[in-house]
Amino acid sequence: MTTIALTGGTGFIGRQLMRDLSQRGFKVRVLLRRPTDVPLHCDSALIGDLTRPQNLAAAFADAEAVVHSAGTAHAMSGIPADDYRAINTEGTIALARAAERAGVRRFVFLSSIRAQSGPHAAEILTEALEPRPTDAYGRSKLAAEHGLAQLGMDWVALRPVLVYGPGAKGNMAALAALARSPYPLPLAGLQAKRSLLALDNLATAVAHVLAAPGPLRRPFIVADSDAVSVPQMIAAMRAATGRRPGLVPVPEALIKSALTWSGRREWIDRLCAPLVVSTAALQEVGWTPQVSTRAGLAAFAAAP
């Protein structure tokens, strides 16, 4: 059995990776930040700190690869650039250096589409486009990728778009709450499409790059095969519970005005702006998403 060292095993994505990799026959060793109950589906667990990745010989002993899904998406000290740089950038690079010293073959880094772009994009995003992150979080992920490129070991940075699945929080949880509401929604007129990523599809992408012949040494954008509009998302989730879409056409300009007036300007980009990506590069090395967005959203909505 191939041994994989996994960080972030107690998080939303890490828990799924741990289950999936274990089911695929990998021997999963979880690196935990603090003493806690050892998660299911792991072979062993060790305690460590990403900001001080010292004495990791036991963590990486006999490990073929590292899957680094830990990180921070929210500033804690009130100084976002410092928080993101310390954990997402410096912590990632230090962890990778320790893995390289231990002879690990490949380092798989869970980066983000925000390393490539801001929250929306007018063109279809590919890895060939110059990365243009617009916030401290995205810049910290891109800086980590650049740091990995300076190392001698093989590495992969996966840039997932917005991930959904059981336990999802943030934007997807808010959208699911809208879909579960009993009321008609004035969203039928929204046309902008967005790429999403089912948690199951992300897990298969990680497993694929772990097994792919190397060297890879590059980033890959990860998403479901089809981009969908917000009305299509709502319709898919409501259909899963046997409901009709219940969507009413309202001019987009009125929706934007209402969001601005109500102090929810951040929802304008989430509902009205496009972000569509291409996964051609990852598919060229043999990966194919197994779950369609509509089927994935239906399963997400139907989950308890």
When pLDDT is cut at 50, 70 and 90, the band that residue 167 belongs to is confident
Evaluate whether residue 172 is within a structural domain: no
User: Is residue 170, in this structure, part of any structural domain at all?
Assistant: no
Q: What is the pLDDT of residue 105?
A: 94
The domain total for the chain is: 1
Rounded Cα distance, 171 and 164, in Å: 9
Distance (Å, whole) CA 127 – CA 300 = 28
pLDDT at residue 52 tops 80: no
Residue 138 has pLDDT above 80, yes or no: yes
Q: What is the value of pTM for the model shown?
A: 0.92
In angstroms and rounded to an integer, the radius of gyration of the C-alpha atoms of the chain is 20
Mean pLDDT across the stretch 254-269? Answer: 85
**pLDDT(53) > 70:** no
pLDDT more than 70, % of the chain: 90
pLDDT of residue 267: 78
**207 in any annotated domain:** yes
Segment 109-114 mean pLDDT: 97
Measured between its terminal Cα atoms, the distance across the chain in Å is 34
CATH classification of the domain holding 23 = 3.40.50.720
- Structure-model confidence comparison of residues 174 and 128, the more confident one: 128
Q: Exposure string (b/e) for 109-127, b if CB count within 10 Å is 16 or more?
A: bbbbbbbbbebbbeeebeb
pLDDT in tens, 277-304: 999 999 999 999 999 999 999 999 887 7
**Domain assignment present for 88:** yes
Of residues 193, 88, 207, 209, the one with CA closest to residue 143: 88
Q: Is residue 59 assigned to a domain?
A: yes
- Find the domain containing 87 and state its range: 3-164+198-223+277-290
Better pLDDT: 194 or 172? 194
Q: Up-side HSE of residue 173: CA atoms within 13 Å toward CB?
A: 7
206 falls within a domain: yes
* pLDDT average, residue stretch 78-106: 89
Q: 36, exposed or middle or buried, with CB in 10 Å at 0-12, 13-18, 19+?
A: exposed
Q: CA neighbours within 13 Å on the CB side: how many for 281?
A: 19
